[in-house]
Amino acid sequence: MKVLKFGGTSVGSPERIEQLLPIIRSQAADKHLVVLSAVSGTTNDLVTLSELYAKKEDKAAQKHIDILYDKYKKFVKELFRTEPGTLEALAFIDNVFQLLYKFDSTNFTTTEERIILAQGEIISTTLFHLHLKEKGISSVLLSALDFMLIDKEGEPDVEYIREHATSEMAKFSDEKLFITQGYICRNAQGEIDNLRRGGSDYTASLLGAALQVEEIQIWTDIDGFHNNDPRYVPNTKPIAHLNFDEAAELSYFGAKILHPQSVFPARKYNVPVRLLDTMNLSASGTLISGETKNLNQIVAIAAKDNITAIRIQSSRMLMAYGFLRKIFEVFEVHKTPIDMITTSEVAVSLTIDQTEFLPEIIKKLESFGTVDIDNEQSIICIVGDFKKNNHGLATIVSEAVKHIPVRMISYGGSENNISLLVPTSYKIEALRSLHNRLF
Protein backbone atom coordinates (compact mmCIF):
# COMPACT_ATOMS: atom_id res chain seq x y z
CA MET A 1 0.00 0.00 0.00
CA LYS A 2 1.05 3.58 -0.67
CA VAL A 3 -0.11 6.78 1.00
CA LEU A 4 -0.60 9.65 -1.46
CA LYS A 5 -1.10 13.15 -0.07
CA PHE A 6 -2.33 15.95 -2.33
CA GLY A 7 -2.02 19.56 -1.16
CA GLY A 8 -4.36 22.50 -1.57
CA THR A 9 -3.13 23.50 -5.02
CA SER A 10 -3.47 19.89 -6.22
CA VAL A 11 -7.21 20.03 -5.40
CA GLY A 12 -7.49 23.76 -6.02
CA SER A 13 -9.82 23.59 -9.01
CA PRO A 14 -12.21 21.12 -10.68
CA GLU A 15 -9.57 20.57 -13.38
CA ARG A 16 -6.97 19.62 -10.78
CA ILE A 17 -9.32 17.20 -9.04
CA GLU A 18 -10.01 15.49 -12.36
CA GLN A 19 -6.26 14.89 -12.71
CA LEU A 20 -5.94 13.01 -9.40
CA LEU A 21 -7.31 9.64 -10.54
CA PRO A 22 -4.78 9.18 -13.38
CA ILE A 23 -1.98 10.04 -10.95
CA ILE A 24 -3.25 7.55 -8.38
CA ARG A 25 -3.58 4.82 -10.99
CA SER A 26 -0.02 5.46 -12.20
CA GLN A 27 1.39 4.50 -8.78
CA ALA A 28 1.71 0.73 -8.68
CA ALA A 29 0.40 -0.63 -5.38
CA ASP A 30 -2.21 -3.13 -4.21
CA LYS A 31 -3.99 -0.36 -2.29
CA HIS A 32 -3.89 3.44 -2.13
CA LEU A 33 -4.73 5.65 0.82
CA VAL A 34 -5.28 9.20 -0.44
CA VAL A 35 -4.93 12.11 2.00
CA LEU A 36 -6.30 15.47 0.86
CA SER A 37 -5.81 19.03 2.06
CA ALA A 38 -8.56 21.62 1.80
CA VAL A 39 -9.03 23.36 -1.54
CA SER A 40 -6.42 26.14 -1.74
CA GLY A 41 -7.62 29.28 0.00
CA THR A 42 -10.38 27.56 1.96
CA THR A 43 -8.52 27.22 5.24
CA ASN A 44 -7.64 30.93 5.13
CA ASP A 45 -11.32 31.71 4.51
CA LEU A 46 -12.35 29.56 7.48
CA VAL A 47 -9.73 31.20 9.69
CA THR A 48 -11.15 34.61 8.72
CA LEU A 49 -14.67 33.38 9.48
CA SER A 50 -13.60 32.20 12.94
CA GLU A 51 -11.92 35.54 13.62
CA LEU A 52 -15.12 37.39 12.69
CA TYR A 53 -17.17 35.28 15.09
CA ALA A 54 -14.55 35.76 17.82
CA LYS A 55 -14.73 39.55 17.31
CA LYS A 56 -18.56 39.36 17.49
CA GLU A 57 -18.94 40.58 13.91
CA ASP A 58 -21.77 38.20 13.10
CA LYS A 59 -23.15 40.10 10.09
CA ALA A 60 -19.71 40.21 8.46
CA ALA A 61 -19.30 36.51 9.22
CA GLN A 62 -22.58 35.65 7.51
CA LYS A 63 -21.59 37.66 4.42
CA HIS A 64 -18.24 35.87 4.40
CA ILE A 65 -20.07 32.51 4.41
CA ASP A 66 -22.28 33.69 1.53
CA ILE A 67 -19.21 34.36 -0.64
CA LEU A 68 -17.59 31.01 0.18
CA TYR A 69 -20.91 29.18 -0.35
CA ASP A 70 -21.32 30.68 -3.82
CA LYS A 71 -17.74 29.73 -4.64
CA TYR A 72 -18.37 26.08 -3.79
CA LYS A 73 -21.70 25.89 -5.63
CA LYS A 74 -19.86 27.06 -8.74
CA PHE A 75 -17.03 24.60 -8.01
CA VAL A 76 -19.51 21.70 -7.83
CA LYS A 77 -21.28 22.65 -11.06
CA GLU A 78 -17.95 22.70 -12.90
CA LEU A 79 -16.69 19.42 -11.42
CA PHE A 80 -19.74 17.21 -11.88
CA ARG A 81 -21.08 16.17 -15.27
CA THR A 82 -24.37 14.42 -14.49
CA GLU A 83 -27.53 15.69 -12.84
CA PRO A 84 -27.56 13.00 -10.09
CA GLY A 85 -23.89 13.65 -9.31
CA THR A 86 -24.39 17.41 -9.22
CA LEU A 87 -27.48 17.16 -7.00
CA GLU A 88 -25.75 14.85 -4.53
CA ALA A 89 -22.71 17.11 -4.30
CA LEU A 90 -24.85 20.24 -3.90
CA ALA A 91 -26.87 18.55 -1.14
CA PHE A 92 -23.64 17.79 0.68
CA ILE A 93 -22.39 21.37 0.28
CA ASP A 94 -25.73 22.67 1.55
CA ASN A 95 -25.34 20.62 4.75
CA VAL A 96 -21.84 21.92 5.39
CA PHE A 97 -22.82 25.55 4.95
CA GLN A 98 -25.98 25.21 7.01
CA LEU A 99 -23.65 24.12 9.82
CA LEU A 100 -21.47 27.20 9.29
CA TYR A 101 -24.52 29.49 9.29
CA LYS A 102 -25.59 28.12 12.70
CA PHE A 103 -22.53 29.52 14.48
CA ASP A 104 -22.59 32.95 16.09
CA SER A 105 -20.46 34.96 18.49
CA THR A 106 -22.38 33.75 21.55
CA ASN A 107 -20.00 31.58 23.59
CA PHE A 108 -17.71 31.19 20.57
CA THR A 109 -14.63 29.27 21.78
CA THR A 110 -11.70 27.37 20.31
CA THR A 111 -13.95 24.30 20.19
CA GLU A 112 -16.26 25.98 17.68
CA GLU A 113 -13.27 27.38 15.81
CA ARG A 114 -11.79 23.90 15.32
CA ILE A 115 -15.10 22.55 14.05
CA ILE A 116 -15.18 25.35 11.47
CA LEU A 117 -11.56 24.77 10.40
CA ALA A 118 -12.23 21.04 9.90
CA GLN A 119 -14.79 21.70 7.18
CA GLY A 120 -12.19 22.47 4.50
CA GLU A 121 -10.78 18.93 4.42
CA ILE A 122 -14.23 17.39 4.89
CA ILE A 123 -15.41 19.26 1.77
CA SER A 124 -12.43 18.35 -0.45
CA THR A 125 -12.44 14.64 0.43
CA THR A 126 -16.19 14.26 0.06
CA LEU A 127 -16.24 16.05 -3.30
CA PHE A 128 -13.43 13.82 -4.59
CA HIS A 129 -15.23 10.70 -3.34
CA LEU A 130 -18.47 11.80 -5.03
CA HIS A 131 -16.54 12.69 -8.19
CA LEU A 132 -15.20 9.12 -8.34
CA LYS A 133 -18.67 7.74 -7.63
CA GLU A 134 -20.06 9.70 -10.58
CA LYS A 135 -17.37 8.12 -12.77
CA GLY A 136 -18.24 4.65 -11.52
CA ILE A 137 -14.96 4.31 -9.61
CA SER A 138 -15.24 2.49 -6.29
CA SER A 139 -13.65 4.24 -3.31
CA VAL A 140 -14.10 4.41 0.45
CA LEU A 141 -14.30 7.73 2.28
CA LEU A 142 -12.82 7.33 5.76
CA SER A 143 -13.25 9.98 8.41
CA ALA A 144 -9.91 10.94 9.93
CA LEU A 145 -11.84 11.69 13.12
CA ASP A 146 -12.25 7.93 13.57
CA PHE A 147 -8.52 7.21 13.88
CA MET A 148 -6.35 10.37 14.04
CA LEU A 149 -5.77 11.17 17.73
CA ILE A 150 -3.51 13.54 19.67
CA ASP A 151 -2.81 13.22 23.39
CA LYS A 152 -2.96 15.83 26.16
CA GLU A 153 0.38 17.24 25.03
CA GLY A 154 -0.84 17.60 21.44
CA GLU A 155 1.33 14.71 20.28
CA PRO A 156 -0.08 12.03 17.93
CA ASP A 157 -0.84 8.60 19.36
CA VAL A 158 0.72 6.43 16.66
CA GLU A 159 -0.39 3.13 18.21
CA TYR A 160 -4.00 4.34 18.39
CA ILE A 161 -3.76 5.54 14.78
CA ARG A 162 -2.39 2.17 13.66
CA GLU A 163 -5.03 0.15 15.48
CA HIS A 164 -8.04 2.22 14.46
CA ALA A 165 -6.99 3.00 10.87
CA THR A 166 -6.31 -0.70 10.31
CA SER A 167 -9.69 -1.55 11.81
CA GLU A 168 -11.56 0.96 9.65
CA MET A 169 -9.87 -0.21 6.45
CA ALA A 170 -10.47 -3.87 7.32
CA LYS A 171 -14.22 -3.23 7.09
CA PHE A 172 -13.68 -2.81 3.34
CA SER A 173 -11.18 -5.57 2.67
CA ASP A 174 -12.04 -5.83 -1.03
CA GLU A 175 -11.57 -2.11 -1.72
CA LYS A 176 -8.39 -0.72 -3.25
CA LEU A 177 -8.85 3.06 -2.93
CA PHE A 178 -9.35 4.87 0.36
CA ILE A 179 -9.73 8.63 0.89
CA THR A 180 -9.32 10.56 4.12
CA GLN A 181 -8.73 14.06 5.43
CA GLY A 182 -5.39 15.58 6.27
CA TYR A 183 -4.93 18.06 9.13
CA ILE A 184 -7.96 17.17 11.26
CA CYS A 185 -8.03 14.83 14.26
CA ARG A 186 -9.53 14.39 17.70
CA ASN A 187 -7.84 15.44 20.92
CA ALA A 188 -7.60 13.61 24.23
CA GLN A 189 -11.05 14.94 25.22
CA GLY A 190 -12.60 13.50 22.06
CA GLU A 191 -13.16 16.95 20.54
CA ILE A 192 -12.46 17.88 16.92
CA ASP A 193 -8.96 19.31 16.73
CA ASN A 194 -6.15 19.65 14.19
CA LEU A 195 -2.44 19.11 13.60
CA ARG A 196 -1.90 22.84 12.90
CA ARG A 197 -0.65 24.30 9.62
CA GLY A 198 1.10 21.81 7.40
CA GLY A 199 -0.90 19.11 9.12
CA SER A 200 -1.88 17.26 5.94
CA ASP A 201 1.76 16.32 5.34
CA TYR A 202 1.91 15.22 8.97
CA THR A 203 -1.26 13.13 8.59
CA ALA A 204 0.20 11.33 5.58
CA SER A 205 3.47 10.64 7.37
CA LEU A 206 1.73 9.42 10.54
CA LEU A 207 -0.56 7.09 8.59
CA GLY A 208 2.28 5.81 6.44
CA ALA A 209 4.40 5.13 9.51
CA ALA A 210 1.58 3.58 11.53
CA LEU A 211 0.47 1.31 8.68
CA GLN A 212 4.05 0.54 7.58
CA VAL A 213 3.26 1.28 3.95
CA GLU A 214 5.56 0.83 0.99
CA GLU A 215 5.95 4.57 0.39
CA ILE A 216 4.53 7.94 1.40
CA GLN A 217 4.06 10.31 -1.52
CA ILE A 218 3.64 14.06 -1.03
CA TRP A 219 2.22 15.62 -4.20
CA THR A 220 2.61 19.40 -4.54
CA ASP A 221 3.24 21.94 -7.30
CA ILE A 222 7.04 21.74 -6.95
CA ASP A 223 9.28 18.99 -8.38
CA GLY A 224 10.97 18.09 -5.10
CA PHE A 225 13.54 19.80 -2.89
CA HIS A 226 15.86 22.16 -4.78
CA ASN A 227 19.45 22.88 -3.84
CA ASN A 228 18.49 26.53 -3.20
CA ASP A 229 15.43 28.75 -3.21
CA PRO A 230 14.35 29.16 -6.86
CA ARG A 231 12.44 32.34 -5.99
CA TYR A 232 15.71 34.16 -5.36
CA VAL A 233 18.45 32.11 -7.00
CA PRO A 234 18.58 31.25 -10.72
CA ASN A 235 19.52 27.82 -12.06
CA THR A 236 18.64 25.77 -8.99
CA LYS A 237 18.32 22.00 -9.43
CA PRO A 238 16.06 19.40 -7.82
CA ILE A 239 17.72 16.96 -5.43
CA ALA A 240 17.19 13.29 -6.28
CA HIS A 241 17.81 11.89 -2.81
CA LEU A 242 18.00 13.06 0.79
CA ASN A 243 18.28 11.15 4.01
CA PHE A 244 15.77 11.85 6.77
CA ASP A 245 18.11 14.14 8.73
CA GLU A 246 18.97 16.25 5.69
CA ALA A 247 15.28 16.62 4.81
CA ALA A 248 14.41 17.55 8.39
CA GLU A 249 17.04 20.29 8.45
CA LEU A 250 15.90 21.76 5.12
CA SER A 251 12.21 21.63 6.11
CA TYR A 252 12.78 23.28 9.46
CA PHE A 253 15.04 25.99 8.10
CA GLY A 254 12.85 27.29 5.35
CA ALA A 255 12.22 24.80 2.53
CA LYS A 256 8.41 25.04 2.32
CA ILE A 257 7.77 21.94 0.21
CA LEU A 258 7.50 19.66 3.26
CA HIS A 259 6.28 20.39 6.77
CA PRO A 260 9.15 19.80 9.25
CA GLN A 261 7.17 17.48 11.52
CA SER A 262 6.36 15.20 8.61
CA VAL A 263 9.86 13.75 8.47
CA PHE A 264 9.94 12.37 12.01
CA PRO A 265 7.26 9.61 11.91
CA ALA A 266 8.63 8.36 8.58
CA ARG A 267 12.18 8.36 9.95
CA LYS A 268 11.20 6.58 13.17
CA TYR A 269 9.48 3.77 11.27
CA ASN A 270 11.82 3.91 8.26
CA VAL A 271 9.15 4.51 5.63
CA PRO A 272 10.46 6.33 2.53
CA VAL A 273 8.88 9.62 1.50
CA ARG A 274 8.76 10.75 -2.12
CA LEU A 275 8.04 14.37 -3.11
CA LEU A 276 6.34 14.69 -6.51
CA ASP A 277 4.86 17.38 -8.73
CA THR A 278 1.24 17.24 -9.92
CA MET A 279 2.14 19.79 -12.63
CA ASN A 280 5.07 17.77 -13.97
CA LEU A 281 4.38 14.05 -13.87
CA SER A 282 7.62 13.21 -15.69
CA ALA A 283 9.75 14.71 -12.92
CA SER A 284 11.32 12.11 -10.63
CA GLY A 285 11.06 14.38 -7.58
CA THR A 286 12.96 13.80 -4.35
CA LEU A 287 13.18 10.50 -2.46
CA ILE A 288 13.73 10.76 1.31
CA SER A 289 14.90 7.61 3.07
CA GLY A 290 17.25 6.29 5.72
CA GLU A 291 20.01 5.82 3.17
CA THR A 292 22.79 8.42 2.92
CA LYS A 293 23.99 9.05 -0.61
CA ASN A 294 25.37 12.60 -0.41
CA LEU A 295 28.68 11.73 1.21
CA ASN A 296 31.39 14.37 1.57
CA GLN A 297 29.38 17.07 -0.16
CA ILE A 298 27.08 20.01 0.42
CA VAL A 299 23.54 19.24 -0.70
CA ALA A 300 21.36 22.31 -0.39
CA ILE A 301 20.78 25.76 1.08
CA ALA A 302 17.58 27.09 2.69
CA ALA A 303 16.61 30.29 4.50
CA LYS A 304 14.20 31.02 7.33
CA ASP A 305 12.93 34.58 7.82
CA ASN A 306 11.29 36.50 10.67
CA ILE A 307 14.03 35.56 13.11
CA THR A 308 14.70 37.52 16.29
CA ALA A 309 18.16 37.32 17.87
CA ILE A 310 18.51 37.74 21.64
CA ARG A 311 21.83 38.32 23.40
CA ILE A 312 22.13 38.02 27.19
CA GLN A 313 25.38 39.33 28.67
CA SER A 314 26.33 39.01 32.31
CA SER A 315 29.66 38.98 34.12
CA ARG A 316 27.93 36.83 36.73
CA MET A 317 27.69 34.07 34.15
CA LEU A 318 31.42 33.31 34.37
CA MET A 319 31.68 29.75 35.71
CA ALA A 320 28.10 30.04 36.98
CA TYR A 321 26.48 26.68 37.60
CA GLY A 322 22.93 26.40 36.18
CA PHE A 323 22.96 29.66 34.22
CA LEU A 324 22.02 28.09 30.89
CA ARG A 325 19.32 26.04 32.57
CA LYS A 326 17.72 29.21 33.94
CA ILE A 327 17.76 30.82 30.49
CA PHE A 328 16.20 27.76 28.85
CA GLU A 329 13.51 27.65 31.53
CA VAL A 330 12.37 31.15 30.54
CA PHE A 331 11.66 29.96 27.01
CA GLU A 332 10.15 26.71 28.23
CA VAL A 333 7.66 28.53 30.47
CA HIS A 334 6.53 30.60 27.49
CA LYS A 335 6.52 27.61 25.10
CA THR A 336 8.91 29.37 22.73
CA PRO A 337 11.37 27.13 20.85
CA ILE A 338 14.97 28.20 20.24
CA ASP A 339 16.47 27.78 16.76
CA MET A 340 20.15 28.64 17.20
CA ILE A 341 22.36 29.20 20.24
CA THR A 342 25.99 30.23 20.76
CA THR A 343 27.79 30.86 24.04
CA SER A 344 30.89 32.55 25.42
CA GLU A 345 32.24 33.05 28.93
CA VAL A 346 30.03 36.08 29.57
CA ALA A 347 27.23 35.94 27.02
CA VAL A 348 24.62 33.78 25.35
CA SER A 349 23.12 34.53 21.93
CA LEU A 350 20.09 32.68 20.63
CA THR A 351 17.32 33.02 18.08
CA ILE A 352 13.56 32.52 18.06
CA ASP A 353 10.90 32.82 15.38
CA GLN A 354 7.87 32.99 17.69
CA THR A 355 7.65 36.41 19.34
CA GLU A 356 4.21 36.24 20.96
CA PHE A 357 5.72 36.30 24.44
CA LEU A 358 8.84 38.32 23.65
CA PRO A 359 8.09 41.20 26.11
CA GLU A 360 7.64 38.75 28.98
CA ILE A 361 10.77 36.83 27.96
CA ILE A 362 12.88 39.99 27.80
CA LYS A 363 11.63 41.15 31.20
CA LYS A 364 12.67 37.86 32.81
CA LEU A 365 16.02 37.68 31.00
CA GLU A 366 16.90 41.21 32.15
CA SER A 367 17.11 39.84 35.69
CA PHE A 368 20.17 37.86 34.50
CA GLY A 369 22.01 40.69 32.73
CA THR A 370 21.96 43.05 29.77
CA VAL A 371 19.63 41.98 26.93
CA ASP A 372 20.04 43.09 23.30
CA ILE A 373 17.48 42.37 20.59
CA ASP A 374 18.00 42.22 16.81
CA ASN A 375 14.88 41.88 14.67
CA GLU A 376 14.55 41.22 10.92
CA GLN A 377 17.14 38.47 10.85
CA SER A 378 17.31 35.36 8.65
CA ILE A 379 18.86 31.96 9.26
CA ILE A 380 20.74 30.55 6.28
CA CYS A 381 21.02 26.77 6.61
CA ILE A 382 23.65 24.90 4.57
CA VAL A 383 22.89 21.17 4.57
CA GLY A 384 25.48 18.54 3.75
CA ASP A 385 27.86 15.97 5.14
CA PHE A 386 29.64 17.89 7.90
CA LYS A 387 30.94 14.94 9.86
CA LYS A 388 34.00 15.65 11.97
CA ASN A 389 36.31 13.62 9.72
CA ASN A 390 35.40 15.70 6.68
CA HIS A 391 37.75 18.57 5.93
CA GLY A 392 37.34 21.88 4.15
CA LEU A 393 33.56 22.19 3.71
CA ALA A 394 33.14 24.67 6.56
CA THR A 395 35.95 26.78 5.13
CA ILE A 396 34.24 26.94 1.75
CA VAL A 397 31.03 28.13 3.44
CA SER A 398 32.79 30.85 5.41
CA GLU A 399 34.69 32.08 2.36
CA ALA A 400 31.44 32.41 0.40
CA VAL A 401 29.98 34.87 2.92
CA LYS A 402 33.14 36.72 3.97
CA HIS A 403 31.72 39.98 2.58
CA ILE A 404 28.39 39.62 4.45
CA PRO A 405 27.81 40.64 8.11
CA VAL A 406 27.18 37.34 9.90
CA ARG A 407 25.51 37.78 13.30
CA MET A 408 25.87 34.17 14.52
CA ILE A 409 27.31 30.85 13.34
CA SER A 410 26.18 27.42 14.53
CA TYR A 411 28.48 24.54 13.62
CA GLY A 412 28.94 21.17 15.29
CA GLY A 413 25.50 20.80 16.81
CA SER A 414 24.51 18.65 13.84
CA GLU A 415 26.49 16.57 11.39
CA ASN A 416 24.13 17.76 8.67
CA ASN A 417 24.20 21.55 8.72
CA ILE A 418 25.95 24.84 9.30
CA SER A 419 23.60 27.70 10.18
CA LEU A 420 24.37 31.39 9.69
CA LEU A 421 22.36 34.29 11.05
CA VAL A 422 22.39 37.36 8.81
CA PRO A 423 20.27 40.51 8.55
CA THR A 424 17.32 39.77 6.27
CA SER A 425 18.43 42.59 3.98
CA TYR A 426 21.47 40.43 3.13
CA LYS A 427 19.57 37.15 2.74
CA ILE A 428 19.29 37.06 -1.06
CA GLU A 429 22.91 38.12 -1.48
CA ALA A 430 23.98 35.37 0.92
CA LEU A 431 21.90 32.70 -0.87
CA ARG A 432 23.32 33.67 -4.26
CA SER A 433 26.89 33.94 -3.05
CA LEU A 434 26.73 30.55 -1.33
CA HIS A 435 25.12 29.01 -4.41
CA ASN A 436 27.81 30.35 -6.76
CA ARG A 437 30.59 29.15 -4.47
CA LEU A 438 29.16 25.77 -3.45
CA PHE A 439 27.43 24.60 -6.63
pLDDT in tens, 178-222: 999 999 999 999 999 999 866 899 999 999 999 999 999 999 888
Q: Is residue 257 part of a domain?
A: no
Domain edge (last residue) among 190, 220, 250:
220
pLDDT in tens, 49-90: 999 999 999 999 999 999 999 999 999 999 999 999 999 999
Q: Are residues 210 and 84 in the same domain?
A: yes
Residues 6+ apart with CB under 8 A from 109: none
Q: Are residues 210 and 329 in the same domain?
A: no
pLDDT category at 420 given cuts 50, 70, 90 is very high
| CATH label of the domain that carries residue 341 | 3.30.2130.10
Closest CA to 409 of 395, 428, 392, 429: 395
For the stretch 292-318, what's the b/e string if a residue is b when 16 or more beta carbons lie within 10 angstroms of its beta carbon? eebeeebbbbbbbeebbbbbbebeebe
389 pLDDT above the threshold of 70? no
Closest CA to 292 of 246, 260, 250, 226: 246
Q: Are residues 186 and 308 in the same domain?
A: no
Find the domain containing 169 and state its range: 2-220
Q: Is residue 119 part of a domain?
A: yes
Among 66-70, 149-153, 261-265, the range scoring the smallest mean pLDDT is: 261-265
Report the SS3 class of residue 409.
Answer: strand
Pick out the residues of the known binding site for substrate.
43, 121
pLDDT in tens, 312-359: 988 666 556 778 888 999 999 999 999 999 988 788 999 999 999 999
Q: Are residues 176 and 33 in the same domain?
A: yes
Report, in angstroms and rounded to the nearest whole number, the Rg of the chain calculated over CA atoms. Answer: 24
Q: Is residue 265 part of a domain?
A: no
Can you give the pLDDT at residue 388?
Answer: 63
Q: Is residue 248 part of a domain?
A: no
Residues 6+ apart with CB under 8 A from 277: 219, 220, 221, 222, 223, 224, 283, 285
Q: Is residue 287 part of a domain?
A: no
User: Model pTM?
Assistant: 0.89
Q: Is residue 94 part of a domain?
A: yes
Q: Is residue 239 part of a domain?
A: no
Pick out the residues of the known binding site.
5-8, 43, 121, 220-221, 231
Domain edge (last residue) among 194, 220, 246:
220
Residues 6+ apart with CB under 8 A from 132: 21, 138, 139, 177
For the stretch 1-36, what's the b/e string if a residue is b when 16 or more beta carbons lie within 10 angstroms of its beta carbon? bbbbbbbbbbbbebebbebbbebbeeeebeebbbbb
Phi, psi (degrees; rounded to nearest 5) at 415: -85, 0
Closest CA to 310 of 286, 290, 334: 334
Among 25-34, 36-45, 119-128, 408-417, the range scoring the smallest mean pLDDT is: 408-417
Q: Are residues 59 and 189 in the same domain?
A: yes
Q: Are residues 216 and 351 in the same domain?
A: no
Dist CA 439 CA 57 (whole Å): 53
Q: Is residue 79 part of a domain?
A: yes
Q: How many domains does the chain have?
A: 2
DSSP 224-278: S-BSS-TTTSTT--B-SEEEHHHHHHHHHTT-TTS-GGGHHHHHHTT--EEEEET
CA atoms within 13 A on the CB side of 68: 28
Pick out the residues of the known binding site for ATP.
5-8, 220-221, 231
Q: Are residues 202 and 327 in the same domain?
A: no
Domain edge (last residue) among 178, 204, 220:
220
pLDDT in tens, 160-178: 999 999 999 999 999 999 9
Dist CA 79 CA 134 (whole Å): 10
